[in-house]
Amino acid sequence: MIRLSQITKTYGSGSLAVPVLRGIDLEIGDGEFVAIMGPSGSGKSTLMNIIGFLDKQTGGTYSLNGEDVKQANEKQLAGLRNRHIGFVFQQFFLLPRLNAQKNVETPLLYAGVSKKERSERALGLLEKVGLKERTGHLPSELSGGQKQRVAIARALVNQPTVILADEPTGALDSKTGAQIMELLTELNREGKTVIIVTHEEEIAACTDRIIVLRDGLIVDDRKVTS
Ligand code: ADP
Ligand code: MG
């Protein structure tokens, strides 16, 4: 369970201070499938980065599974991130010189997992995302949708409880985007909490709940009725 209470985020200080989140109250239960929408600059990525322990709030409390993470130092935040969070981004962020399998294995290098287990887990996940025949391909040899599948496999490699996807279909055509949403829906059905940021209504409509940000505040939070 993700619980944010009066979360604020300000970049800079003094006369240059820019308030980006201005008091976010939000609960997201285990296994939810949520879309965050809102205009450019409304604070969506900042909120995702705080939920994913890539950034720290300026004020307010964030607890994950009842654990207040405010007191966590950098090393503990990295630990929380590795244990709980899988990140997916619009730009994929694959390592260009590594093939699909090695890209998926990368997070495991830091975790000290044996070569054999790294390989088994990466190949299993690439099969799961439909890329069994592409494990040896470099990112430059893959389509956009295939690259995003590799990125999703990589996000899954530490068996996270939460998948955070910041505009995962933003760089894809609508058909490929819909396929990526099918994959995220399947992961949600298997029990993962999935939170995506999107500008597209059709993409948001694939989720169960839509949260709208404007100028650093939640202005709408509604169930998707299908
Ligand atoms: P969104 O994802 O909704 O487009 P962001 O969370 O990326 O919005 O950004 C919200 C606001 O915070 C923007 O005005 C942006 O310029 C500002 N911002 C984001 N990151 C930083 C940063 N590291 N330093 C200063 N300002 C930032
Ligand atoms: Mg953004």
Give the architecture-level CATH label for domain 30-57+77-223: 3-Layer(aba) Sandwich (3.40)
Ligand 1 pocket member 17 (CB < 6 A):
no
| pTM of the predicted protein model | 0.96
Q: What number does the ligand 1 atom closest to the CA of 38 have?
A: 3
Number of Cβ atoms within 10 Å of the Cβ of 150: 27
Q: What is the pLDDT of residues 9-65, one digit of tens each?
A: 999 888 889 999 999 999 999 999 999 999 999 999 999 999 999 999 999 999 998
Q: Report the number of secondary-structure helices (H) and strands (E) in the chain.
A: 7, 10
**Residue 216 Cβ < 6 Å to ligand 1:** no
In the prediction, which pLDDT does 70 show?
76
Q: Whose CA is nearest to atom 6 of ligand 1?
A: 43
Q: Any idea where the domains of the chain sit in the sequence?
A: 30-57+77-223
Q: What are the backbone angles phi and psi of residue 135, rounded to the nearest 5°?
A: -65, -25
User: How far is residue 77's CA from residue 97's CA, in Å, rounded to a whole number?
Assistant: 28
Residue-wise pLDDT tens digits, 173-210: 999 999 999 999 999 999 999 999 999 999 999 999 99
Measured in Å, residue 22 CA sits from the centre of ligand 1 at: 13
Closest to 30 in 3D by CA, of 203, 153, 202, 190: 190
> Among 26-40, 75-89, 150-164, whose mean pLDDT is lowest?
75-89
Residue owning the nearest CA to atom 27 of ligand 1: 11
DSSP per residue over 147-174, as a string? Answer: HHHHHHHHHHTT--SEEEEESTTTTS-H
Q: What is the ipTM of this complex?
A: 0.97
Distance of CA 222 from the midpoint of ligand 2 (Å) = 21
Mean pLDDT of 53-80: 88
**Do 96 and 138 meet the contact criterion of CB atoms below 8 Å apart?**
yes
Computed over every residue of the chain, the mean pLDDT equals: 95
Out of 20, 36, 198, 215, mutate this one to test ligand 1's pocket (max ligand atoms within 8 Å of CB): namely 20
